[in-house]
Amino acid sequence: MLETIKSLAHQLAPECIAIRQHLHAHPELSYEEFETAAFIKQELHKWGIPFQEMAKTGVIALIEGNHPSKKIIALRADIDALPIREENNVPYQSKNQGVMHACGHDVHTSCLLGAARILQQTRNEWEGTIKLIFQPGEEKNPGGASLLIKEGVLENPAPEKIFALHVHPGMEVGKFSFRGGMVMASADEIYISIKSNGGHAAAPQLTADTILIASQLVVSLQQIISRNNDPFNPSVLSITSIQGGNSTNVIPSEVKLMGTLRAMNETWRFKAHELIINQTHKLVEAMGASADVRIDVGYPFVLNNEALSAEARKQAEVYAGKENVTETELRMGAEDFAYYSHLIPACFFRLGAGNKAKNITANVHTPIFNVDESCIEHGMGMMAWLALTAG
């Protein structure tokens, strides 16, 4: 089966690269992936794979082998893009102004479609059922995974295990990485509004200076991490936006802050929420203004099942060679795959997509992000292989 999968991955790679380029040229934002979903359904229909729609732009498909109920394994890919204007000068550059597949979801979708094609063509040679999850809205709260779960994606049939991959531009093409346990952080969004009467910049004594208060608050909030959190417990608090004022001689009546909290411990995560809220109110009120604080609770941390990840790594070494499989580093980025990982055994692994010799090294979420497209052949083959061996 190993050589069959490798052979099919190699044979189908050009077609799947073309799929990636089509998706890359036609990106859609979270929960707006209507054309993307239509394209996915078109490909599945062409290959004779039955599917259903879920959560408006989600597509769920089933491939049955021999004895379909013997085991049920899920494979997931995210399909949404980011609000970034692409700067790559490539034939398949984004045609949707200000929208770009800057996180590799076009690659993920192409890999899953390729794996689907492999599994469909070999369905008489393996046992069980493979559930394919083409998921919308990974990049935006509440996360498409949470919506699909509410609509029953993990039921009828209920998968026993789930796998997903993510491109890694910092790892050379042809390589993979795995890690058991916590692998990515939770992510919460912070919104703060500081309000006063405002006033003339030449008479600061007559009002509370919202700009000064915001500046003090940004510095003060950093102490929540440095002086309340266990230094051996990874956590990040970043204020990423300050909006207020539009004149040199006016103290604005309102300044807005936005930011994010990342954590890998649920107890600390929610304690930090309380500290952020309390510290904001006390500092702002002490300086004569008022504050509104809202924390949108986002994705939990990604939890890779230890046994499943160990088995997946072992099988990956069989497929790609031990020298091409390594350990995934802890990352404070977030992924809504986390929702699946807290409900069933899950394995979220990395796909090498960079190529230093070709100067393909730009990080995700940047306007010049790209991949060495040969990673698609590796990714689709690995997804199919793990579904049949590690599952």
Active site residue 292: no
3-state secondary structure of 336: coil
Distance separating alpha carbons of residues 79 and 57, to the nearest angstrom: 9
CA 88 to chain CA centroid, Å, is 22
- Three-state secondary structure string covering 46-102: HCCCCEEEECCCEEEEEEECECCCCCEEEEEEECCEECCCCCCCCCCCCCCCCCECC
Catalytic member of 28, 86, 138, 372: 138
Tell me which residue of 300, 294, 210 sits closest to 259, measured CA to CA: 294
Catalytic member of 28, 80, 336, 377: 80
The beta-carbon contacts of 328-332 under 8 Å, at least 24 apart in sequence, are: 328/177, 328/178, 328/179, 328/183, 329/177, 329/179, 330/179, 330/182, 330/183, 330/184, 330/234, 330/264, 331/183, 331/184, 331/185, 332/184, 332/185, 332/234, 332/236, 332/262
Active site residue 336: no
Residue 232 to residues 228, 274, 295, Cα–Cα distance (Å)? 12, 20, 24
Catalytic sites, residue numbers: 80, 138
